Structure 1
Amino acid sequence: MARVVTKPDTLNQLNQDFEQQVLTVPVFLNSVPKCGTHLIRNIFRMFVPVNQQYHDTFIQIPVLRQHVGAFNYLQPKLSWGHLLFSDESAMALRKAQHLVVVRDPYDWVLARARFFLSDNFQGNLEHLKSGQINLEEILNMMIFGIHEKVPSLSDIYTHNAAAWLGTGTKLVRFEELKHHVQNLESDDAEQYFRELLSVLQLREFPTDWRERVRVGSDREQSGTYRDNLTNTAFTLPDQLPEQQRKLVDYAAPGLRNLLGYCD
């Protein structure tokens, strides 16, 4: 089984610096893996009492039945995970506020490769770091998957994102979240975060929301932020090569347009 190595954060302690309002509805932060999960989770954690945050596990299909209580509307919690679309997950989330975070599939290929090639990821893919496979081949594996080892881009985006659309789930694009985090003083940022955080159904939007977002979005608090990954075996480009972009379009035609990404 794959193991992810990260350092613990201190956000539960920092949460105490802010006056918190009681959460009255269950909220689930769902995401495609490697789409800024820690960023949105850590920001939301600054707006919810620690005792109403579900830290027991990162909720996914294999453990859903054991942790379905995270969505109990009588005991509201903020929870997070990578929960693919299914009959069981739809029933579990029927009374929860539900967000799904995605990122541009072109950039996702690089983010996935960067993570798999780092020391933070320990699993059955250590041979990818050996230098016996070139970078372009690794990028293609991120797109098409590796037989019986890792799923393809199309499979992941289909079940973790596309299948949730049109069901009342709120779609969040990582790039927009990141942009507004980096431009917190703007009026657009305030409008964005008021809308994003509206799923918490707070009685009053905190006047110190900017400071809460700053604390939650601190890169040092995210063990999987790209600059905090250790000993990445390859130097990856800032943009996906043109050939691999064409392969993404071939492997998942229409996906980028469906998610709102247009060149």
Structure 2
Amino acid sequence: MARIIAKPDTLDEFNAKFAQQRLQHNVFLNSVPKCGTHLIRNIFRMFVPVDQHYTKSFIQLPELQQHQQAFNPKNPELSWGHLIYSDVSAMVLRETRKLVLVRDPYDWVIARARFFMSDNFIGKTDVIRSGRISVEEILNLMIFGIYGLAPTLQEVFTHNAVAWLGTGCKLVRFEELLQHVKQLDTPEADAFFRDLLSILGLEKLPEDWKERIRIGADPAQSGTYRDNLAGIKMEFPKELPDIQKQIVDYAAPGLRQILGYR
């Protein structure tokens, strides 16, 4: 099984400096892998008391049964993970407020490739890291999957995101989140974060909400932020080449549209 190496953060110490309102219901931050999971998690952590953070597991389907306490309505907590949609996940999270974070599949291909080629990802990557596979070939593998190591782009987005749509799960796009993080002093950012954080059920946003977001969104607090990845020996393009964009559209027709990308 693949493992991820990430340095610990210091956000709990910052959290203690702010007055916190206690959660009255469970909240689950779901995300497609490599879509800004640490960013949204760290932002939300700055608005919830540390003792209401469920930190026993990064919740995924194989271990959902043993971590059902994260969704006990009698003990509200904030939890997070990459949880695919299934009959069991729908049942266990039936009383939990939840969102799912996605990003443009075009950009996701590059983000996934960079991560797989970094020292932060521990798995069966000897072949793709051998130096005998080109950047373009690796990008195609990110789209079509690697046997025994990684599912296809379509499988990942279908089960981690699309299948949750229409069930009361709030859809959040990484690009919009990042845009408003960078423009906190605008009316648009104010409206965006009031809507995003409304899932917490806070009576009102604290007056210091911008400071909390700046701290939570600090890249230094994310072990898997692209600039914090180590050991990448290949140069990946900033934008997916046109042919790979066409391949994404072929491999997952309609995906970008249903997620709100054009």
Instruction: Give deviations 1:215-238, integer Å, cap 9, x for gaps.
Output: 000000000000000121211000
What is the aligned partner in structure 2 of residue 91 from structure 1? 91
Counting only pairs closer than 5 Å after superposition, residues 1-263 of structure 1 correspond to structure 2 as: 1-262=1-262
In the alignment, the residues of structure 2 paired with residue 220 and residue 236 of structure 1 have an alpha-carbon distance, to the nearest angstrom, of 22
Equivalent position SS for 1:126: coil
TM-score by length of 2: 0.99
In the alignment, the residues of structure 2 paired with residue 127 and residue 227 of structure 1 have an alpha-carbon distance, to the nearest angstrom, of 24
Q: Considering only aligned residues, what root-mean-square deviation do their CA atoms show, in Å?
A: 0.7
- Offset of residue 160 of structure 1: 0.4
Q: Which amino acid aligns with 2:108?
A: W
- Offset of residue 128 of structure 1: 1.3
Structure 2 unaligned regions, length at least 5:
none
Which aligned segments of 4 or more residues in structure 1 are displaced greater than 6 angstroms?
none
2:180 touches 2:189 (CA, 8 Å); kept in 1?
yes
In the alignment, the residues of structure 2 paired with residue 148 and residue 8 of structure 1 have an alpha-carbon distance, to the nearest angstrom, of 29
TM-score by length of 1: 0.99
Equivalent position SS for 2:127: helix
Instruction: Give deviations 1:14-65, integer Å, cap 9, x for gaps.
Output: 1011100011010000000000000000000000000000011100001000
Mean alpha-carbon deviation: is it higher for 143-152 or for 106-115? 143-152
In the alignment, the residues of structure 1 paired with residue 243 and residue 204 of structure 2 have an alpha-carbon distance, to the nearest angstrom, of 49
Mean alpha-carbon deviation: is it higher for 127-136 or for 24-33? 127-136
In the alignment, the residues of structure 2 paired with residue 190 and residue 17 of structure 1 have an alpha-carbon distance, to the nearest angstrom, of 22
Instruction: Give deviations 1:71-96, integer Å, cap 9, x for gaps.
Output: 11110000000000000000011000
- Offset of residue 148 of structure 1: 2.8
Equivalent position SS for 2:185: coil
- Offset of residue 204 of structure 1: 2.4
Equivalent position SS for 2:101: strand
2:123 touches 2:149 (CA, 8 Å); kept in 1?
no
- Offset of residue 252 of structure 1: 0.2
What is the count of residue pairs matched by the alignment?
A: 262
